[in-house]
């Protein structure tokens, strides 16, 4: 069980890193590479940014929860 949780933990961690890197910062970001900078001036691009924010928060919370679950599982 700990092995499966560890694998899920690693996948969620990598997905969280990818989602954070997709955010545009002050000088752009990786989201510009995928058309985020082009769509920023167009109307309606804020919905995509909101969805990216929501996904990042959800994956961050799952990562934090899995951290606690794994810590308790290893100590038990």
Which residues, other chains included, contact 16 with Cβ-Cβ below 8 Å and sequence gap of 6+? Answer: 56, 59, 60, 63
Other beta carbons within 10 Å of 32: 16
Q: Is residue 53 part of a domain?
A: yes
Q: Does residue 14 sit within a domain?
A: yes
- C-alpha 53/C-alpha 30 separation (Å) is 15
| Residue pLDDT, tens place only, 15-67 | 999 999 988 766 555 656 666 555 555 544 688 888 999 999 999 999 999 99
Split into its structural domains, the chain has a count of 1
Q: Answer yes or no: is 31 within a domain.
A: no
Range of the domain at 16: 1-22+47-76
Residue 29 is assigned to a structural domain of this protein = no
């Amino acid at each position: 069980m700990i092995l499966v949780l560890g694998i899920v933990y690693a996948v969620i961690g990598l997905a969280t890193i990818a989602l954070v890197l997709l955010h545009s910062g002050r000088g752009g970001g990786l989201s510009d590479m995928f058309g985020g900078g082009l769509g920023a001036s167009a109307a309606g691009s804020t919905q995509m940014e909101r969805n990216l924010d929501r996904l990042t928060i959800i994956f961050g919370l799952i990562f934090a929860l899995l951290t606690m679950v794994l810590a308790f599982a290893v100590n038990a």
